[in-house]
A and B are shown apart, each in its own frame.
Chain A
Amino acid sequence: MHTSKHWLGAGLIALAGTAGAAAPSNEDLQKQIQALQQAVDALKQQLQAKTNEAAAAPAAVAAATDAEPVEVATKQDIDGIRADLENYKYDQQRNRDTKTALTKRALTLAGTVQVRASSQSQQTTSGTTATAEPRHTTFDVPSVLLNLSGSLFKDYSEGKNLDYKIGFSYAKNVNSGSVLATVAPNGSQLNLTDAYLVYSFFPTVAGLEEPKLTATFGQQQIPFGLEAQAAEELRPVINSAQFVNASGVGNRQIGLILRGDYDPYVDYGFNYRAPLIEYALGIVNGSSTNKLDDNGDQDYLARLAFTLPVDYNSWLRELKFGASYYKGTKNLVATPTIGAGAGTATLRATGKSDRYGVDIYYNHDPIGFTYEQVEGRDDLLINTTQAATTRKGREVSSRGQTFTGFYTWGQQWVKSYKGQAKYDDWWPTSYQAFVRWDKWDPNLDVGKDDTTIYTLGLNVFFAETTKLQVNLNQYHYGNPVLKTNNELLAQFQYGF
């Protein structure tokens, strides 16, 4: 626009200049008109050029013509923001000092509680120290777990962290023979369950393709089979499979256990990781929780699992085969009825207490199944009532088998879906129906001593950490004297 004004000015000056001079000739006037015409043409060309330029950069034009008026922050505005920021900082500090639980290191406090109602066809008095009339139904709080965990050293660059966990479990004083039950027959205890350190030898932040190796030192669950090493809150059935408690593989142990994997198959298109080989090796006391070793031998354990290396979208996804071995030593105690030491339990010898397990796991939403077989081999004294004998008899072989098949409606096990962004406390309500067959034979050489439990169940997941479980159990006993017992259990399991 400035340039056009210059051209116009020049034209007018030229005209004014000629006006004061002698009367121009027609030729001069013609020239002046031509000059003016050229000036107008140039102005037109510039205007056209500007228009083209604007069309080529619509953003600039839009900004110049349509943008909202520019608002500039004033000093008062900035002072206001500063004041808000200072108030916020004060608030944060004051709340941290007075209304926040502080810990020396980062801490995650978590818990799991079960509240249950049960009904059974055969009446019972078990589970109470009171003088009781046999019952068919009862309400119960069977389990309360409290866990504290965190990191003692956090390796931000590679993730070779040193972590810890401490866990406590509530237990009722129901055993009338125990001191606690005598002192507080309706009381309870808080028993230490987990107490360990765990260190990652390999980087854990590099990506899914990196192998894992950790060492866990302290009291912990042992890597045997599937159900025994699943945390309580993750087990699908209200009652554990019989072999978990009967064979002892569900007992926590104190010791050192290495856990790792090798050659993980990674499908980054789905964030899916399936280690080809998972392994575990350990050495433990073998005397269960909160006890020193009760003999001169350590127990050893090993586990190896193989997962099919297939893409997430394959129907063979999460098909895993595992084998577990636990080499244990047990104390063989006899209470002789005759001779010296009669009536006193005395250690006579130590013997083996080994466990062998195989398992298959398949979980391809919406269907899945697990199968486990555990076999125990235990030495026994030939006759515990003999005087001072240390002779071992034929070993006792026990066997437990469990098959669980399940079908799911809902997105409980679709990691991405339940992890989707949400404003509110949303969770994908899911339903899981399952059937279980669970058999335990405590001595393969003795007939009619086995117990088989059939379970039909439904789990309803209606909040992130809460589920309603309904199980219908039917107990069949090899011993014909024992009557088949039907049991209906309903419980809420919630976590925090």
Chain B
Amino acid sequence: MKKIAVLFASAIVAFSGLAGLAHAEDKPVEIRVAYSGAGTGGRPLSSGTIVATAHLRGLLEQEFKADGIKVKWSFFPGAGPATNEAFANKLVDFAYHGDLPLVVGRATGLKHKILLSLGRFGNTYFMVPSDSEAKTLADLKGKRIATFKGTAGQLTLNRVLEKYGFTEKDFKVISMDGDTAKAALATKDIDGYITTPFDLEARGIAKRLLEIKRDPKVTSVGTFWVSEEFEAKYPQIVQRVVTTLVKEAQWDSDEKNRDALFKLWGQAGSTPYSDYVKTWAGYTLKERNSPLLDDYYVASLKKAVDEAKRFRLTRSNVDINGWLEPKYLNQALKDLKLENYWQANDADGNVKK
């Protein structure tokens, strides 16, 4: 029996040793990409960004197929906070994040480098149940407003409330994911929620309380980052990932692909095709799918850092110095001859002159 004990212990020790050898190569065995969101019904796909399109069109898989590098996607219904949790446990190399979880993760010590901007601008709609008697936000004081706490949606809600002179404390703000909140609007278990309106209105279950058209101070920027560890170890792989995504951004910015793009994104179900058509009307694909880390991106990120602290959504300060790493984007733009393809925005979101 002693022999069995020694054998058993040896097996465990050997197994633990093998587990540590997984990355002892020049190139990674796999590239782990996390997406803060998932399709309706827990399906592994998403929409609304160039990274979502790259997944749907298999661009990264094509890029690394010849090298035998597997691209491993993780779509998290738990959104940005779930991506943070996975990254804290060393399970993520690249990720798409909304502003609030990105800032909170950084504030608690997560180490990543920002590579690309993912999505900007758009309209903001505050929805209430179809039979709501509220005419203004003031009529909802003390009532239940849903948001997915810890995600960019919470910061957007705080900006909207502040714009009209309120704070979260004026309402009962409860946490729900998007699908649950839409269902709760239908059953009138919540009194308000920020989301796209058209499918809810078509079904007659909700109506717009207010609509904020193109206010770059309210909408946020998305971010694509790489872990500092991966970037230090495989810079050439990082460059190929970024170049591939910039190619994708060009496809996503071409008006010829508008309908095809919205059809792809509509597959995820969380925002229907018809809502993409209507909510993106009045915007060019180029301006919303710009990958540039321009003045607007930097100003938006700084604003998110300040707001997260001011709205008491994080406890620690965040210094953005050294956080952005634009060299991969600049190289990709140069290689693809796209230096002037997207127009940079100034800090206020206007086209930079």
| Interface, chain A (partner B; CB < 8 A) | 58-59, 61-63, 66-68, 121, 156-157, 205-208, 267-272, 311-314, 365, 407, 409, 411, 414-417, 419-423, 431, 433, 456, 458, 470, 472, 474, 486, 488
Contact = CB atoms under 8 A, between A and B. Distances in A.
B149 A207 contact: yes
Contacts of A61: 255
Contact of A59 (B75, B110, B187, B255): B255
27 contacts: A58-B284, A59-B255, A59-B281, A61-B255, A205-B176, A206-B174, A206-B175, A268-B81, A269-B81, A269-B84, A269-B108, A270-B84, A312-B108, A313-B88, A313-B105, A409-B16, A411-B89, A411-B91, A414-B91, A415-B82, A417-B91, A420-B75, A421-B39, A433-B15, A458-B11, A458-B12, A470-B8
Given A268-B149, A416-B81, 16 more contacts: A61-B255, A62-B258, A205-B176, A206-B174, A268-B104, A269-B100, A269-B101, A269-B105, A269-B108, A313-B108, A313-B110, A414-B85, A416-B83, A417-B85, A470-B8, A486-B5
Nearest to A207: B175
B109 A313 contact: yes
Nearest to A410: B19
B78 interface: yes
B255 A62 contact: yes
A416 B105 CA distance: 15
A474 B284 contact: no
Interface of B: 1-2, 4-5, 8-9, 11-12, 15-16, 19, 38-39, 42-45, 74-78, 80-86, 88-89, 91, 100-101, 104-105, 107-110, 144, 149-150, 154, 172-176, 184, 187, 189, 255-256, 258-259, 281, 284-285, 313-315
A470 B12 CA distance: 11
Contact of B77 (A157, A419, A456): A419
Contacts of B144: 157
Nearest to A470: B8
A268 B174 contact: no
Contacts of B4: 472, 486, 488
A156 B104 contact: no
Contact of B76 (A272, A420, A488): A420
Contacts of A67: 259
Contacts of B89: 365, 411, 414, 417
A420 B5 contact: no
A393 B74 CA distance: 65
A427 to B, nearest CB: 14
Nearest to A420: B74
B5 A157 contact: no
A82 to B, nearest CB: 17
Contacts of A59: 255, 258, 281, 284-285
Contacts of A407: 16
Contacts of A312: 84-85, 88, 108
Contact of B44 (A267, A422, A433): A422
Contact of A270 (B81, B255, B285): B81
Contacts of A313: 88, 105, 108-110
A66 B255 CA distance: 10
A312 B110 CA distance: 11
A470 B15 CA distance: 15
A56 to B, nearest CB: 10
A421 B55 CA distance: 14
Nearest to B154: A268
Contact of A474 (B5, B86, B256, B313): B5
A207 B85 contact: no
Nearest to A434: B12
A150 B347 CA distance: 53
Given A311-B108, A421-B43, A472-B4, A269 B76 contact: no
A472 B8 contact: yes
Contacts of B313: 268
Contacts of B315: 311
A481 to B, nearest CB: 20
Contacts of B256: 62, 66
Contacts of A157: 144, 189
Contacts of A272: 85
Nearest to B103: A269
Contact of B85 (A66, A409, A415): A415
Nearest to B151: A268
Contact of B1 (A63, A365, A488): A488
A416 B255 contact: no
List 9 tightest A-B contacts by C-beta distance, closest first.
A269-B104, A416-B82, A268-B150, A421-B38, A486-B1, A421-B75, A313-B108, A271-B81, A421-B44
Contact of B78 (A416, A456, A470, A486): A416
B173 A207 contact: yes
A431 B13 CA distance: 12
Given A59-B284, A313-B108, A433-B16, A271 B5 contact: no
Nearest to A454: B5
B81 A472 contact: no
A68 B42 contact: no
A369 to B, nearest CB: 16
A407 B285 CA distance: 49
Contacts of B150: 268-271
Contacts of A156: 184, 187, 189
